A and B are shown apart, each in its own frame.
Chain A
C-alpha cells in the first residue's frame, strides 16, 4: 500500500530544507523552495487520503494560506543570515499561527499570542539583538558575522529532523482514524449551557432580554432552572412557560478559557505567576552590571579605615 507516502513526503521536504540551508547557488535554493511547497501540498493530499472526515472548503483555503505563510516564514527564519530578520520572520510565524487560532475559534488565544509573543517577547529579543549587534554592525555594515552566515552541518541536522518529522507526521496522520468522531452539536450546546448557568448575571440578562416581565431568579427555587435545547435553540422553562434565549448570550470563547483557567487550574495559575515573578527577578539580577568596588571602598562603606591610608602613615613614620 501507500503507507510509505508520509515518509517519502518527509524525505522530500527534508531535502528541500537541506537545499535551502546549504551554501549554494540561488537556483538551488529556488528549487528547494519549490520542492518544499510541493511537498506541503502533497502532505495535505496525503492527509485527506488517509484520515477520514470533511473540511469546509473556505476554511481549508484559509488554512492552506496561513500554513504556507507559517512554514515559509519559519524556514526563512532559520535560513536568514541576519538575526534581526530572523526575529521578524518569527513574528510572521506568530501572526500566521494567530490566524490559524482564529480558524480554530480560539480568538482569545490568537490575540493573546499576538500581544504577548509578537508584542512583548519578540520586542525583548529585538532589544537584545540590537544591543549585541551594535559593535559588530559598526565594523561591517553589510556583512553579518561569519557564524550567522553559514549553517553548521545542515545535512546532519536535516537527517535528525527527517527522522523526527517522519515519526510525528506518520503518527499524526495514521493514528487519527482511531479517534472518536468530532464533538456533535449537542455536546457543544450542553457545554455552553452548563457554563451559562455558572454565570448568573449573564444568564439573568439573557432571560430578561427575552421576557422583561419575569421575576429572576425565580422565587422559592434553590437553583436557577436549567437551560434546555430543542430544534429552535435554547430555552428556559420558568413560570410555566418556555423562555427563548438569544444565541448572543451564549458564553464566548474567552469566557470558556477564563472559566477553564480559573476553575480547573487555579494552582497552576498561581505557579505561573510565581514563575514569571522569579524570572523577572532572575533577569534583573543576572543582567545587572556589577559595580567593581575596591577593598578600601568596601572598608569605608563598612565604617573602617582604608588600608592604604594606614600603610601610608606607617611608611611616613
Chain B
C-alpha cells in the first residue's frame, strides 16, 4: 500500500525520477521572454492613460488585444525554443544573505514546458476573449470600458507572474494579483449590490486559501532555506533533507499548499465564491473564472508535486476532495435554471476532476483536462454571454428556446453545441480524452477507496453530460420562444428596440434580440475549433513512451509535475509500484479489464446515455421533465432531493450559520468591547484621569499670584531637599 511505503526517505528517493532541474540554464538569449509579462503591464499603463485622458472610443480594447496577442506570440516562440527548462533573470528583486542563511527571490522567469503549456492557453484565450469583450462591453464605452480592460491587463500580468515566476514569492505575488484582478472584475458592475457582495465573497474566501499559501511559503523557506524552484527541486532530488523530513514541516507543507489550491480553484469547502463570481461581466467569467485563474490551484499542485509525493496521504485527500466536489457541483448544476450558474457549477465540477487527476497521480491527465477545459468552457461561457448580451440579461433557460432557428444566432447555437459535447465527454471530443485519462487512472492507481471514487467520477460524468445538454436542448433547440431579461439598456440600443415594433411577436414590450456581430462570432468559432482540435494531441506521437497525449504529455513530463510518475506504460501506478519496479503487482482493474481500454467504452456510453436523457427530457418530451419534477416533489420520501439540489444543498446557508453568524456575533462582541472597554475605559478613562487630577489641582489656579509663588517655593524646597539628601547619601553623611 502506498501509505505503508514512502515513509522512509531512503525508499522514497529512488522513486523520484530525475526532476529536470540539472539542465536549467541561466538564459540570456531569451531576454525577450520578459515581454510576455511586460506587454500586459504596458497595456495596463496605456489603459490608465486612456482613463486619464478620458478616451471615449474602443482604443483601450485594441491596446489590450494587441499587447496580449504579442504576449501570445512570444509565448509560442518561447515554446519553440529548444533549450527549456531555463531561467531568465529580469531584474534582481530580493537578494539577502547573512551568516548561515539567505533569502533570494529574483524577478526571474522559470521557463519549462509546464509553464509554456499554461501560458499558451492563458495568453491565447486572453487575446481572444479580449477581442470578444471589445464587442461585448460596447455599451460601456466611455464609462467602464477602460476599467474593464485595465483589469484584464493586470490579470494577465499577475497570471504571468504566477505561472512564469522563478520562485514561490513571485508565485505569491501573482497569486494575490489574480485574486485582486478577480475582485476588481467581479465587482465591475459596482452599482449592483449583488456584484459587490460577490466580489467581497470571492476575495474573502480566497483569503483563506491565500493564508495557506503564505504559510506554505514561509514553511518551505524555513525548512529548505530557499523559495526558488530550481534549488528546491535540487534539494528534493538529492534527498539531502532527511533530518527535516522527520519533522512535521515537510508533512504540513502539502496540506497548506492544498488549502491554497482549494481556495483559488474553488474546491470543497471553499468553492462557494465561484458561482457567485458570475456576477462579473461574462468575458471575465470565461477568462478568469473558467479558463485560467481557477486553474492556478492545479498549476500550484503540479508545480509543487514533489512536495506532495513526500506526503502521499495529502494526494489521497486531494483526490477525494476533487471527486466529491465534482459530484456535489454536478448535482447542484443539474437543478439550476441560470445558464451561467450551471456553467459555473460545471466549472467547479470539472476542476474537481482535475484535482482528482492530480490525486490519482496523473498530472498529465489533470493538465490535459485543464487545457481542453479552458477551451470548451470558454466557448460555453462566451455563448452564454452572447445570449445574455442579446436578450437583455436573460439567462433563465426556461424562458429561452429555439435559438438555433433564429436569424443570426446559428453560430452561437452550434458553437455552444461544440462546447457541450466536449464538456459532456462525447466520444472523440477533447473532453472525452482528457476526462478518460483521469477516470482510468482512478481505477489504476492504488489508494484508499479509489475504486469507489472512480465509480463516483463516472457517475459524475453521466450527470455532466445530462446537465450540459439540458442547457443546450432548452436554449438552442425546440420551438422559438424568448422573453427579454430585465437589463434593457435603452440608451445604448435605440436601433434595436425602437425601430421595429411590428415584426416582434415573441417577446413583450416590442423587444427584439440583437444577434452578435463579427467579433463575438469570430471568437466563438475560433475557440470552438480550438476546443475540437484540442483532441488532436491525444493522437499525436510523443517522446515519452507509454503515455498517449502527444506534446501535451511531453510538456507535462518535462517538468517538475512529472516527478514520481514513471513514464513507462507498465508502470502507470503509484509511487510504491515504481519503487518496487513491479507495476503489475498492484495494477488496478475495472470489471476485470484494463482501465485504459475499458474507460473508452464506459465513459462513451455514460456520456451518450446522459446526452440522450437530456434530449428526451428537454427536447423531445419536455412535458415529461415537468411530470418527473412534479412526481418527485409529490413524494415525501424523495422530495428533499430536488429541493436541496435547487438550493445548492444549502451550503451557503450552512456556511452562514457556521461561519458568518458566529463571526457576526464575534464582531459585535468586539465592537462592544471596543466601545465600552477600549473607548470607554481606556481612551475616555485616560482623558478623564487628567480631568480628575485637574479638578483636584484646580484650586491652585486661582489667579492669586501668591499661591503660584507658594507652589514655586514648594518646588524649590523640594529640589533643595533632594539635593541635600543626595549629597548626604553619596558623600556618606556630610553632617558629621
Contacts and interface: CB of A to CB of B under 8 A. Distances in A.
- Chains A and B touch (C-beta atoms under 8 A apart): yes
Contact of A164 (B717, B724, B735): B717
Nearest to A168: B720
Contacts of A177: 734
Interface residues of A, number: 16
**Most chain B beta carbons < 10 A, residue from A152, A161, A175:** A175
Nearest to B719: A167
Nearest to A177: B734
A64 interface: no
Interface string B722-736: 011001000100110
B717 A163 contact: yes
A163 B724 CA distance: 14
A3 B736 CA distance: 9
A261 interface: no
Interface stretch (B307-315, B500-508, B708-716): B708-716
Interface string B157-199: 0000000000000000000000000000000000000000000
Interface string A233-273: 00000000000000000000000000000000000000000
B720 A171 contact: yes
B723 A171 contact: yes
Contacts of A175: 724, 727, 734
Contacts of A167: 717, 720-721, 724
Nearest to B723: A171
Interface in A94-132: none
B723 A174 contact: no
Nearest to A175: B734
Nearest to A178: B734
A178 B706 CA distance: 36
Contacts of B717: 163-164, 167
A160 interface: yes
B734 A3 contact: no
A167 B720 CA distance: 7
A160 B710 contact: yes
A72 interface: no
Nearest to A159: B710
7 contacts: A156-B710, A157-B706, A160-B710, A167-B717, A168-B720, A177-B734, A178-B731
A228 interface: no
B731 A170 contact: no
A164 B710 contact: no
A164 B731 contact: no
B720 A174 contact: no
Shortest beta-carbon contacts, A-B, top 3: A171-B724, A167-B720, A174-B735
B379 to A, nearest CB: 84
What DSSP secondary structure best describes chain A's contact surface? helix
Given A157-B706, A171-B724, A175-B727, 15 more contacts: A152-B706, A157-B710, A160-B710, A160-B713, A160-B714, A164-B713, A164-B716, A164-B717, A164-B720, A168-B720, A170-B724, A171-B727, A174-B734, A174-B735, A177-B734
A156 B713 CA distance: 13
Interface residues on B, range: 10 to 19
Nearest to A3: B735
B707 to A, nearest CB: 10
A168 B724 CA distance: 9
Contacts of A178: 727, 731, 734
Nearest to B720: A167
A157 B714 CA distance: 11
B26 to A, nearest CB: 66
Contacts of B727: 171, 175, 178
Nearest to A176: B734
A152 B716 CA distance: 22
Contacts of B734: 174-175, 177-178
B350 to A, nearest CB: 85
B560 to A, nearest CB: 75
Contacts of A156: 710
A11 B572 CA distance: 109
Contacts of A170: 724
B655 to A, nearest CB: 74
A161 B717 CA distance: 10
Contacts of B723: 171
Interface string B680-694: 000000000000000
Contacts of A168: 720
Contacts of A174: 734-735
Contacts of A171: 720, 723-724, 727
Contacts of A161: 713
A170 B728 CA distance: 12
Nearest to B714: A160
A157 B721 CA distance: 19
Contacts of A157: 706, 710
Interface string A128-171: 00000000000000000000000010001100110110011011
A303 to B, nearest CB: 45
Contacts of B735: 3, 174
**Most chain A beta carbons < 10 A, residue from B713, B714, B716, B720:** B720
A160 B720 CA distance: 14
A164 to B, nearest CB: 5
Contacts of B710: 156-157, 160
B727 to A, nearest CB: 6
A15 to B, nearest CB: 19
A177 B731 CA distance: 12
A4 B216 CA distance: 77
Contacts of A163: 717
A178 B733 CA distance: 10
A178 B723 CA distance: 14
B235 to A, nearest CB: 69
B581 to A, nearest CB: 94
A114 B562 CA distance: 105
Contacts of B720: 164, 167-168, 171
Contacts of B721: 167
A163 B723 CA distance: 15
Interface in A175-202: 175, 177-178
A161 B706 CA distance: 13
A152 B720 CA distance: 26
A175 B721 CA distance: 12
A10 to B, nearest CB: 12
A3 B734 CA distance: 12
A152 B727 CA distance: 36
Contacts of B713: 160-161, 164
Nearest to B724: A171
A152 B724 CA distance: 31
A171 B713 CA distance: 16
A272 B735 CA distance: 40
A152 B710 CA distance: 13
Contacts of B714: 160
A8 to B, nearest CB: 15
Contacts of A164: 713, 716-717, 720
B735 to A, nearest CB: 5
Interface string B435-458: 000000000000000000000000
A47 to B, nearest CB: 15
A154 to B, nearest CB: 11
B366 to A, nearest CB: 83
A26 to B, nearest CB: 27
Contacts of B716: 164
Nearest to A152: B706
B8 to A, nearest CB: 81
A64 B572 CA distance: 119
